[in-house]
């Protein structure tokens, strides 16, 4: 199948736009390669420090005859998704020795949980954790002891941050090694119903906690299709996983076998051998386009409208929301996984999963098949399914037919002709909307603005009975420069309840929603943000606002002369500066680019 013309056009546009920055990035990778293997450049004192505690690997590290893998881990035992990583380093070391190499834990990165901090002050550090993780990954790899690296991370900001940090060492091969989703618990529909009843005052806290505990109940990733599981999809379509590694449950023999295989493959693709596959070559404009197509085809997290921009920039590539919008409109929606449907990722995986999706998109010409995957082949091999035959790991072709057409469909019979993400533009700026979970009748609204300076003010208005009739909830002062752009997922049950009562409601914000953005129309990530003088700061209570996801517009019905003369409301962010460590991240807030630039504090005015 020839490449789809939209995929071809967007890829070429990114290539042209990024020519200078990508050329400079690749030159840095080549310069690093020409210096030779890293440990060979270390002095005796440097090297002795690097292997002093290496036990039985000390002799191999001293002789520098075998490839050495650096492990960067996001392990902690609070996060269900990262708790399984406790046993990975010892398994990786054993697998490396058996395959003729060595492995060392190079360092750890912080791994905060958006599920724990959701609606709390700590969520104001969530986005900055991504940039901190990128820095921590770079610090771990800065010791120059490694010929390749394995990244142990799964969740929201962790995978994007690790990849951004790894791309600063673009000459090193890097394989991402996931832990997989927890087994299915309480169905997501039942959990959401209890949340909504609690918001309405019809369920007790004890009932809510029981429902949440039955849903989030075991080691592994949360099973809805939010940012964490969207991360795993991205790693597959970008060729940074072994094929089919994303959604194998933790604690299984197959999961261990995939970790061993990732270790063995990392040893094969170093610069010491004939098949050097550095991460800076794997992540090129084709891989980034694949990521955007995969996001659209599966109804993935809106958070990646930010993260993919930052990842691309770390590789010397420049993308914007126009690219994402154009690709999404050309990509059919193939999956319905909660919150875009009732199934969870285990059901999606059982129905054919990412192997089925990748093969369907390849055959439709919607993915670049000729990317340089870490497994040693092209993207067609990424569609293979791993299985154990006895103790032997083998890969098979994915099923030709979906195992459940309510969850997964072929390109010829999609859930929708286009993907789940759209760009809105107009007098109020540029925003992203996720429509894959929004019913067609709720995709357009014209209603008076109800203006709030934070999500707690909106919830207080609801409890006081002041949210009557149709309205657009405007929650501003939530951008990266204001308070770190926290997710506003706490609003979802309340707005969903009002919609179910028959009110027409929507959200407009310069903040983020959760990767599990739901059934209420939400125009999010609005740029420019309020504290930067964006038009959202001019909105007043009662202004008639139109959010139209079908026409891709974002307007306000105020006469032009009045709008031009209206000053922006002052934004008081003094309450966001201290507490829960926020004072330590003032430099991040001050340096952050806008959401369409990746909301990143690391690149400065020029960037990579």
Concatenating the DSSP letter of every residue in 23-72 gives HHHHHHHHHHHHT--GGGGS-HHHHHHHHTT-GGGHHHHHHT-S-EEEEE
> Rounded CA gap, 486 and 411, in Å?
35
Structural contact between residues 271 and 35, judged by C-beta atoms closer than 8 angstroms: no
**Cβ partners under 8 Å of residue 514, min gap 6:** 114, 118, 226, 227, 487, 488, 489, 492
Confidence of residue 192 (pLDDT cuts 50, 70, 90): confident
Longest dimension (CA), the chain: 77
What is the pTM (predicted TM-score) of this model?
0.95
Structure tokens at 78: 């609070």
Structure tokens at 502: 């028959």
How far is C-alpha 150 from the geometric centre of its chain's CA atoms?
18
Q: Which pLDDT does position 607 carry in this prediction? A: 47
> Rounded CA gap, 409 and 391, in Å?
32
Q: Which pLDDT does position 516 carry in this prediction? A: 57
Query: Which of the 8 DSSP states describes residue 284?
Result: S
Q: Hunting for tokens 């690093």 — which residue is that?
A: 32
Could you read off the pLDDT of 302-338 as tens digits, one per residue? 999 999 999 999 999 999 999 999 999 999 999 999 8
251, 322, 284, 341: which is closest to 552 by C-alpha?
A: 322
Gyration radius of the chain's alpha carbons: 24
Q: Which pLDDT does position 544 carry in this prediction? A: 98
Could you read off the pLDDT of 90-138 as tens digits, one per residue? 999 999 999 999 999 999 999 998 888 888 888 889 999 999 999 999 9
Structural contact between residues 205 and 198, judged by C-beta atoms closer than 8 angstroms: yes
- Among 60-64, 172-176, 244-248, 373-377, the least confident range: 60-64
Q: Which pLDDT does position 343 carry in this prediction? A: 92
Q: Which pLDDT does position 114 carry in this prediction? A: 84
429, 522, 509, 448: which is closest to 477 by C-alpha?
A: 509
Could you read off the pLDDT of 368-386 as tens digits, one per residue? 999 999 999 999 999 999 9
Q: What's the mean per-residue pLDDT of the chain?
A: 93
> Angle at the Cα of 494 (from 491 to 500), degrees rounded to 5?
135
Residue 81: helix, strand or coil by DSSP? coil
Could you read off the pLDDT of 522-531 as tens digits, one per residue? 999 999 999 9
Q: Which pLDDT does position 385 carry in this prediction? A: 95
Q: Which pLDDT does position 195 carry in this prediction? A: 80
Residue 399: helix, strand or coil by DSSP? coil
> Rounded CA gap, 379 and 191, in Å?
37
Q: Which pLDDT does position 517 carry in this prediction? A: 62
600, 595, 596, 592: which is closest to 481 by C-alpha?
A: 592
Could you read off the pLDDT of 413-458 as tens digits, one per residue? 999 999 988 999 999 999 999 888 899 999 999 999 999 999 999 9
Question: What b/e string do you get for 164-200 counting C-beta neighbours within 10 Å, with b at 16 or more?
Answer: bbbbbbbbbbbbbbbbbbbebbbbbeebbebbbbbbe
pLDDT above 90: residue 253: yes
Confidence of residue 176 (pLDDT cuts 50, 70, 90): very high
Q: Which pLDDT does position 483 carry in this prediction? A: 95
Please, how many CA atoms are within 13 Å of residue 391, restricted to the half-sphere of its CB? 1
Q: Which residue has the higher pLDDT, 53 or 164?
A: 164
pLDDT above 70: residue 201: yes
> Rounded CA gap, 294 and 296, in Å?
5
Could you read off the pLDDT of 23-60 as tens digits, one per residue? 999 999 999 888 766 777 777 888 778 888 888 888 88
Q: Which pLDDT does position 54 carry in this prediction? A: 86
Confidence of residue 231 (pLDDT cuts 50, 70, 90): very high
Pairing of strands 521-527, 429-434: antiparallel
> Rounded CA gap, 277 and 285, in Å?
16
Q: Which pLDDT does position 123 carry in this prediction? A: 87
Query: Which of the 8 DSSP states describes residue 342?
Result: S
């Amino acid at each position: 199948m020839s490449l789809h013309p939209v995929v071809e056009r967007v890829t070429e546009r990114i290539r042209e736009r990024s020519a200078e920055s990508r050329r400079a990035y690749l030159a840095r990778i080549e310069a690093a390669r020409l210096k030779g293997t890293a440990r060979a450049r270390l002095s005796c004192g440097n090297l002795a420090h690097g292997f002093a505690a290496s036990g039985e690997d000390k002799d191999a590290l001293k002789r520098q005859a075998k490839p050495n893998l650096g492990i960067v881990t996001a392990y902690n035992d609070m996060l269900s998704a990262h708790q399984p990583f406790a046993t990975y380093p010892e398994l990786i070391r054993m697998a490396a020795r058996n395959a003729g190499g060595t492995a060392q834990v190079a360092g750890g990165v912080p791994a905060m949980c958006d599920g724990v901090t959701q609606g709390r002050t700590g969520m104001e550090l969530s986005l900055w954790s991504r940039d901190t993780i990128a820095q921590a990954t770079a610090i771990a790899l800065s010791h120059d002891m490694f010929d390749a690296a394995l990244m142990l991370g799964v969740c929201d900001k962790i995978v994007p941050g690790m990849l951004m940090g790894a791309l600063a060492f673009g000459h090193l091969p890097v394989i991402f090694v996931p832990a997989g989703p927890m087994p299915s618990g309480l169905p997501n529909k039942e959990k959401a119903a209890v949340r909504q009843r609690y918001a309405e005052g019809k369920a007790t806290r004890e009932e809510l906690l029981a429902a949440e505990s039955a849903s989030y109940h075991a080691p592994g990733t949360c099973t809805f299709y939010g940012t964490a599981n969207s991360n795993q999809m991205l790693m597959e379509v970008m060729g940074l996983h072994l094929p089919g590694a994303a959604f194998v449950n933790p604690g299984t023999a197959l999961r261990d076998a995939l970790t061993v295989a990732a270790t063995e493959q990392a040893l094969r693709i170093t610069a010491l051998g004939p098949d050097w596959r550095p991460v800076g070559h794997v992540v090129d404009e084709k891989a980034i386009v694949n990521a955007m197509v995969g996001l659209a085809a599966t109804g993935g997290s809106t958070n990646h409208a930010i993260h993919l921009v930052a990842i691309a920039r770390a590789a010397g590539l420049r993308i914007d929301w126009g690219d994402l919008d154009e690709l999404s409109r050309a990509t059919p929606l193939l999956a319905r996984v909660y919150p875009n449907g009732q199934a969870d990722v285990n059901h999606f995986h059982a129905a054919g999963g990412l192997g089925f999706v990748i093969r369907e998109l390849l055959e439709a010409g919607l993915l670049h098949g000729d990317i340089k995957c870490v497994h040693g082949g092209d993207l067609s091999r990424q569609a293979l399914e791993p299985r154990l035959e006895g103790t032997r790991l083998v890969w098979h072709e994915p099923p030709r037919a979906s195992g459940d057409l309510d969850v997964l469909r072929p390109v010829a019979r999609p859930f929708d002709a286009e993907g789940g993400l759209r760009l809105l533009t107009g007098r109020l700026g540029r925003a992203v909307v996720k429509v894959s979970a929004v019913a067609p009748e709720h995709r357009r609204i014209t209603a008076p603005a109800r203006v709030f300076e934070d999500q707690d003010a909106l919830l207080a208005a609801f409890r006081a009975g002041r949210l009557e009739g149709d309205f657009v909830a405007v929650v501003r002062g939530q951008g990266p420069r204001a308070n770190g752009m926290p997710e506003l997922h706490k609003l979802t049950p309340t707005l969903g309840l009002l919609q179910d009562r028959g009110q027409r409601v929507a959200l407009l914000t310069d903040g983020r929603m959760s990767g599990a953005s739901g059934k209420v129309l939400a125009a999010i990530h609005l740029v420019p943000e309020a504290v930067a003088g964006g038009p959202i700061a001019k909105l007043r209570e009662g202004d008639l606002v139109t959010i139209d996801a079908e026409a891709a517009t974002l307007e306000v019905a105020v006469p032009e002369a009045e709008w031009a003369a209206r000053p922006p409301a002052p934004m008081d962010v003094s309450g966001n500066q201290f507490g829960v460590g926020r004072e330590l991240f003032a430099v991040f807030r001050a340096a952050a680019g806008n959401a369409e630039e990746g909301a990143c504090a690391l690149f400065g005015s020029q960037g990579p």
